[in-house]
C-alpha cells in the first residue's frame, strides 16, 4: 500500500500534470473558436447585443447555449424558430406576444437596442455547437427545417408546405395538427369557419374586428398576409 509521502507525490504530480494539459488544450481551443463560431460575423451590433443581454441578465430566465435558467425558452435557435419580426415585437412589448402566459420583463428598449439584441440572437444561432440543440427524434417539430423521413412523420407533420411566417410566428400561439401553442384556438378547421376576406382583415388588425382581443397586431407585410390568408382558408379540417 502507498505510504503517506507516496500519496502526496501522487497528488502533486497528478495535479500539476493535468493542469498543464488543460492549459494546453485551452490555448488550442481559443485558436479554433473563431472558425467554429463565425467570429467574422460578430459585428459591432452583435457585440452590443451581447453586452445588453448580459446587462439585463436575460440568462436569469432563459438558457442560451444551454446555460442559464429553466424558466423561459432556450434562445440559441430562436432566430430560426421565430424569425426577426416576431423577436422584435417580443422585445418591444413582451406582454402582447404571449398574453396571459408566464411573464417576461418589459424593458422599454429603444429600436436600436432591439436590433442589437436581435443581431446577437441571429449570430448565436449560426454557431457550430456540435449538434446542440438536438432535433427532436421521436417526432419532428413544426420547425421550418423539419424534414419528414419516416412514414409516421409524413402523417403527423407536414410542415414544409406551410408559409415560413406561419411556422415562425403563428405556432407560438396556435396549434395545427396538434403542434404549437395554446394561447389562441387551434387552426385546423379555420378555412371552413372564415373566408379569405375575413382572414385578411383579421391579420391586418385583429383589434379592428374584435376590440379587446388578445391576439396582437403582428408585424406582417402585405405579401405575408396574402400568403397566410390563402393558406388559412385552405385549412378545412383535413390533414
Sites for ligand HEC among residues 128-167 (CB under 6 A):
165
Query: How many CB atoms are located within 10 Å of the residue 179 CB?
Result: 19
The verdict on 111 binding ligand HEM (CB under 6 A) reads no
CA–CA distance, 104 with 56 (Å, rounded to integer)? 12
Contact flag: residue 98 with ligand HEC (CB under 6 A): yes
Q: How far is CA 173 from the centre of its chain?
A: 14
User: Among 183, 196, 226, 230, which residue interacts with ligand HEC (rule: CB under 6 A)?
Assistant: 183
Q: Which is nearer to ligand HEC, 28 or 111 (CB)?
A: 111
Judged by CB under 6 A, the residue of 3, 102, 147, 238 near ligand HEC is: 102
Q: Are 78 and 87 in contact (CB under 8 A)?
A: yes
x/- site string to ligand HEM, residues 20 to 59, per CB under 6 A?
A: ----------------------------------------
Sketch the per residue contact string, 19 through 58, with other proteins: x for CB under 8 A, - otherwise. Answer: x-xx--xx-xxx-xx--xx-x--x----x--xx-xxxxxx
Q: Per CB under 6 A, which region of 63-71, 77-85, 143-151, 176-184 contacts ligand HEM? A: 63-71
Mapped onto helix, strand or coil, the DSSP state of residue 67 is strand
State how far the alpha carbon of 125 is from the alpha carbons of 37, 134, 190, in Å: 10, 13, 33
Secondary element (H or E) of residue 180: strand 179-180
Note whether 139 binds other proteins by CB under 8 A.
Answer: yes
Q: Which three cell numbers stand for residue 152?
A: 409516421
* DSSP 8-state class, residue 41: G
Binding mask 71-100 for ligand HEM (x = CB under 6 A): x-----------------------------
CA distances from 136 to 62, 101, 139, 239 (A): 20, 24, 6, 21
Residues of this chain that interact with ligand HEM (CB under 6 A) are 66-67, 69-71
Amino acid at each position: 500500500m502507498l505510504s503517506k509521502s507516496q500519496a502526496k507525490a501522487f497528488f502533486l504530480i497528478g495535479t500539476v500534470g493535468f493542469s498543464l494539459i488543460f492549459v494546453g488544450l485551452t490555448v488550442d481551443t481559443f485558436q479554433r473558436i473563431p472558425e467554429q463560431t463565425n467570429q467574422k460575423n460578430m459585428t459591432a451590433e452583435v457585440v452590443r447585443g451581447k453586452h445588453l443581454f448580459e446587462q439585463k441578465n436575460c440568462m436569469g430566465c432563459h438558457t442560451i447555449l444551454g446555460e442559464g435558467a429553466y424558466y423561459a425558452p432556450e434562445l440559441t435557435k430562436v432566430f430560426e424558430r421565430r424569425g426577426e419580426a416576431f423577436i422584435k415585437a417580443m422585445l418591444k412589448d413582451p406582454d402582447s406576444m404571449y398574453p396571459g402566459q408566464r411573464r417576461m420583463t418589459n424593458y422599454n428598449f429603444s429600436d436600436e437596442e432591439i436590433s442589437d439584441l436581435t443581431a446577437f440572437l441571429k449570430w448565436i444561432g449560426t454557431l457550430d455547437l456540435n449538434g446542440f440543440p438536438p432535433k427532436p427524434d421521436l417526432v419532428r417539430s413544426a420547425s421550418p427545417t423539419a424534414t419528414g423521413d419516416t412514414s409516421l412523420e409524413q402523417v403527423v407533420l407536414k410542415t414544409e408546405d406551410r408559409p415560413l411566417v406561419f411556422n415562425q410566428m403563428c405556432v407560438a400561439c396556435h396549434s395545427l395538427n396538434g403542434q404549437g401553442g395554446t394561447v389562441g384556438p387551434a387552426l385546423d378547421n379555420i378555412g371552413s369557419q372564415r373566408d379569405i376576406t375575413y382572414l385578411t382583415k383579421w391579420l391586418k388588425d385583429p383589434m379592428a374586428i374584435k376590440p379587446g382581443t388578445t391576439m396582437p397586431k403582428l408585424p406582417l407585410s402585405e405579401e405575408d398576409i396574402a400568403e397566410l390568408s390563402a393558406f388559412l382558408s385552405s385549412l378545412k379540417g383535413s390533414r
